[in-house]
Protein backbone atom coordinates (compact mmCIF):
# COMPACT_ATOMS: atom_id res chain seq x y z
CA UNK A 1 0.00 0.00 0.00
CA UNK A 2 1.63 3.22 -1.13
CA UNK A 3 0.21 6.18 0.75
CA UNK A 4 -0.31 9.28 -1.36
CA UNK A 5 -0.71 12.77 0.13
CA UNK A 6 -4.41 12.81 -0.79
CA UNK A 7 -5.28 9.30 0.36
CA UNK A 8 -5.27 9.65 4.17
CA UNK A 9 -9.08 9.59 4.30
CA UNK A 10 -9.31 6.33 2.38
CA UNK A 11 -6.51 4.86 4.54
CA UNK A 12 -8.47 5.68 7.68
CA UNK A 13 -11.55 3.99 6.17
CA UNK A 14 -9.45 0.90 5.50
CA UNK A 15 -8.40 0.81 9.15
CA UNK A 16 -12.00 0.96 10.34
CA UNK A 17 -12.75 -2.14 8.28
CA UNK A 18 -9.60 -4.07 9.23
CA UNK A 19 -9.82 -6.47 12.15
CA UNK A 20 -6.97 -6.49 14.65
CA UNK A 21 -6.09 -10.04 13.58
CA UNK A 22 -5.03 -8.88 10.11
CA UNK A 23 -1.31 -8.72 9.33
CA UNK A 24 0.09 -5.79 7.37
CA UNK A 25 3.16 -5.06 5.26
CA UNK A 26 3.28 -1.44 4.14
CA UNK A 27 6.08 -0.23 1.89
CA UNK A 28 6.85 3.41 2.68
CA UNK A 29 8.82 5.76 0.41
CA UNK A 30 8.67 9.00 2.42
CA UNK A 31 10.22 9.24 5.88
CA UNK A 32 7.52 11.67 7.01
CA UNK A 33 4.89 8.91 6.61
CA UNK A 34 6.59 6.48 9.02
CA UNK A 35 5.40 8.21 12.20
CA UNK A 36 2.04 9.14 10.73
CA UNK A 37 1.24 5.57 9.72
CA UNK A 38 2.44 4.08 13.03
CA UNK A 39 0.31 6.57 14.94
CA UNK A 40 -2.75 6.00 12.76
CA UNK A 41 -2.56 2.20 13.11
CA UNK A 42 -1.79 2.46 16.85
CA UNK A 43 -5.00 4.46 17.38
CA UNK A 44 -6.82 1.34 16.18
CA UNK A 45 -4.84 -1.09 18.35
CA UNK A 46 -2.53 -2.24 15.56
CA UNK A 47 1.17 -1.86 16.37
CA UNK A 48 3.68 -1.74 13.53
CA UNK A 49 7.40 -2.49 13.48
CA UNK A 50 9.74 -0.57 11.17
CA UNK A 51 12.04 -2.64 8.94
CA UNK A 52 15.00 -0.75 7.49
CA UNK A 53 15.59 -2.70 4.31
CA UNK A 54 19.05 -3.57 3.10
CA UNK A 55 20.22 -5.81 0.24
CA UNK A 56 21.09 -9.41 1.04
CA UNK A 57 24.56 -10.39 -0.24
CA UNK A 58 23.33 -13.82 -1.37
CA UNK A 59 20.83 -12.29 -3.80
CA UNK A 60 23.46 -10.63 -5.95
CA UNK A 61 23.58 -7.00 -6.96
CA UNK A 62 20.25 -5.88 -5.59
CA UNK A 63 19.96 -2.15 -4.97
CA UNK A 64 17.43 -0.30 -2.85
CA UNK A 65 16.76 3.38 -2.46
CA UNK A 66 17.65 4.84 0.94
CA UNK A 67 14.06 6.08 1.24
CA UNK A 68 12.46 2.65 1.37
CA UNK A 69 11.09 1.10 4.57
CA UNK A 70 8.55 -1.50 5.55
CA UNK A 71 6.07 -1.18 8.37
CA UNK A 72 4.89 -4.65 9.37
CA UNK A 73 2.45 -5.99 11.93
CA UNK A 74 4.01 -6.46 15.35
CA UNK A 75 3.38 -10.10 16.28
CA UNK A 76 5.66 -9.97 19.33
CA UNK A 77 8.54 -12.02 17.90
CA UNK A 78 12.05 -10.61 18.22
CA UNK A 79 15.09 -12.01 16.42
pLDDT digits (tens, 9 = 90+) for 56-69: 777 666 666 778 89
Domain count, the chain: 1
Give tens-digit pLDDT for 8-32. 555 655 555 554 567 789 999 999 9
**What is the reported pTM?**
0.61
Beta-bridge partner residues of 73: 48
Which domain, by its residues, includes 30?
A: 5-73
With CA atoms as reference, report the closest residue to 10 among 2, 56, 22, 76: 2
* Assigned domain for 78 exists: no
Pick from 67, 20, 29, 68: nearest CA to 48: 20
Q: Is residue 79 part of a domain?
A: no
Residue 47 lies in a domain: yes
Amino acid sequence: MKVQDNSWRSSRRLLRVAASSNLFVIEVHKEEYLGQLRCMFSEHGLNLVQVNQRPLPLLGREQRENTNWWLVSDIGVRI
